[in-house]
């Protein structure tokens, strides 16, 4: 009985040691202040990145889909965040709708073709022009979105979620942001099925970046 209890204590102690030191989770300092993140060039961490969009469907629901092939880079100036810059590319053929009858119809391919003309215009690109801080961890990122052969200015409402000077697993500096915006797809000449499928598109991004 005593031996069993002692073994249990040893196992619990070992588990605590692994948790606090073996994986570096508890010892990594979480930084909620963006000025504490090392400046430099950061690339998107694709396994923890998403871009989703919502569009009104005949007034009944907001149809939601996502893109899975995203490339993004941030040149971070943490001492003066407004001097930072962002650029991103999205491959439009990577649209995923989770259509429930894929054997009946390749709906993803239909959306890529009819809405985005992805064969002719395979990539949507964003290049920031300015960043305006609106709070300690919030800001507006203004930039040009080129899509469907046209370029329009959009504004991303962004939130700095936090970061690390040494990521718990990779040990590299890292940070994450959330961003959202609304656009009118007709401004890019994407008019398919308006007004039955809405003109206004809600975009939402969840992105993690790791220092190159």
> CB of 32 within 8 A of CB of 198?
no
Q: What is the DSSP string of 155-206?
A: EEEEEEEEEESS-TTT-S-EEEEEEEEEEEGGGGT--TTTTTEEEEEEEEEE
Residue 82 token pair: 């407004």
Q: Model pTM? A: 0.86
Q: What is the pLDDT of residue 28?
A: 85
**Sites in the chain below the pLDDT cut of 70:** 1-27
Rounded alpha-carbon distances, angstroms, from residue 89 to 128, 182, 192 = 12, 18, 23
Looking at domain 33-211, which of 1.20.1110.10, 2.40.50.140, 3.40.50.300, 2.40.128.110 is its CATH number?
A: 2.40.128.110
Site of tokens 């300092």:
29
Sequence ranges of the domains in the chain: 1-31, 33-211
């Amino acid at each position: 009985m005593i031996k069993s209890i002692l073994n249990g204590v040893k196992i619990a102690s070992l588990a605590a040691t692994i948790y606090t030191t073996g994986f570096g989770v508890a010892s990594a300092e979480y930084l909620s202040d963006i000025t504490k993140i090392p400046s430099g060039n950061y690339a998107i961490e694709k396994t923890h990145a998403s871009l989703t969009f919502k569009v009104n469907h005949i007034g009944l629901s907001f149809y939601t889909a996502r893109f899975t092939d995203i490339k993004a880079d941030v040149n971070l100036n943490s001492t003066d965040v407004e001097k930072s810059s962002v650029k991103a590319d999205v491959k439009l053929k990577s649209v995923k709708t989770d259509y429930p009858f894929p054997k009946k119809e390749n709906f993803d391919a239909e959306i890529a073709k009819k809405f985005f003309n992805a064969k002719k215009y395979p990539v949507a690109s964003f290049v920031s022009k300015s960043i305006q801080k609106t709070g300690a961890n919030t800001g507006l990122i203004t930039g040009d979105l080129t899509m469907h052969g046209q370029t329009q200015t959009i504004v991303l409402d962004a939130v700095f979620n936090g970061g690390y000077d040494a990521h718990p697993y990779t040990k590299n500096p890292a940070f994450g942001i959330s961003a959202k915006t609304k656009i009118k797809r007709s401004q890019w000449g994407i008019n398919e099925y308006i007004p039955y499928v809405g003109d206004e598109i809600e975009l939402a991004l969840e992105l993690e970046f790791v220092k190159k």
